[in-house]
Amino acid sequence: KAGVTQTPRYLIKTRGQQVTLSCSPISGHRSVSWYQQTPGQGLQFLFEYFSETQRNKGNFPGRFSGRQFSNSRSEMNVSTLELGDSALYLCASKEGPQETQYFGPGTRLLVL
Amino acid sequence: GENVEQHPSTLSVQEGDSAVIKCTYSDSASNYFPWYKQELGKGPQLIIDIRSNVGEKKDQRIAVTLNKTAKHFSLHITETQPEDSAVYFCAASSPIMDTGRRALTFGSGTRLQVQP
pLDDT digits (tens, 9 = 90+) for A98-112: 678 999 999 999 999
pLDDT of residue A82: 97
What is the rounded average pLDDT for all residues in chain A? Answer: 93
Q: How far apart are CA B52 and CA B30, in angstroms?
A: 8
Q: How far apart are CA B24 and CA A78, in angstroms?
A: 33
Residue of chain A minimizing CA distance to B40: A105
Tell me whether residues A99 and B46 touch, CB distance under 8 A.
no
A71 burial class (0-12, 13-18, 19+ CB within 10 angstroms)? exposed
B111: Cβ contacts below 8 Å, ≥ 6 apart: B9, B10, B11, B86, B87
B43-99 pLDDT, tens digit per residue, is 999 999 999 888 999 999 999 999 999 999 999 999 999 999 999 999 999 887 777
Contacts of B106 in chain A (CB under 8 A): 42-43
What is the rounded average pLDDT for all residues in chain B? Answer: 93
Q: How far apart are CA A6 and CA A75, in angstroms?
A: 10
* Out of B46, B105, B108, closest to residue A102 by CB: B46
Single-letter code of the amino acid located at B50: I
A58-93 pLDDT, tens digit per residue, is 889 999 999 999 999 999 999 999 999 999 999 999
Query: A-contacting residues of B 18-47, CB under 8 Å?
Result: 32, 34, 36, 41-46
Q: How far apart are CA A22 and CA A72, in angstroms?
A: 11
Residue of chain A minimizing CA distance to B47: A102
Contacts of A103 in chain B (CB under 8 A): 36, 43-46
Question: Quick check: A97 pLDDT over 70?
Answer: no
Q: How far apart are CA B45 and CA A62, in angstroms?
A: 29
Tell me whether residues A55 and B102 touch, CB distance under 8 A.
no
Question: Quick check: A95 pLDDT over 90?
Answer: no
A15-46 pLDDT, tens digit per residue, is 999 999 999 999 999 999 999 999 888 899 99
Residue of chain B minimizing CA distance to A4: B43
Q: How far apart are CA B61 and CA A88, in angstroms?
A: 30
Name the minimum distance, in Å, from the CA of B44 to any CA of chain A. 6
Contacts of A100 in chain B (CB under 8 A): 34, 46, 49
B61-71 pLDDT, tens digit per residue, is 999 999 999 99
B18-47 pLDDT, tens digit per residue, is 999 999 999 999 999 999 999 998 999 999
A79: Cβ contacts below 8 Å, ≥ 6 apart: A18, A63, A65
Single-letter code of the amino acid located at B21: I
B16: Cβ contacts below 8 Å, ≥ 6 apart: B79, B80
pLDDT of residue B15: 97
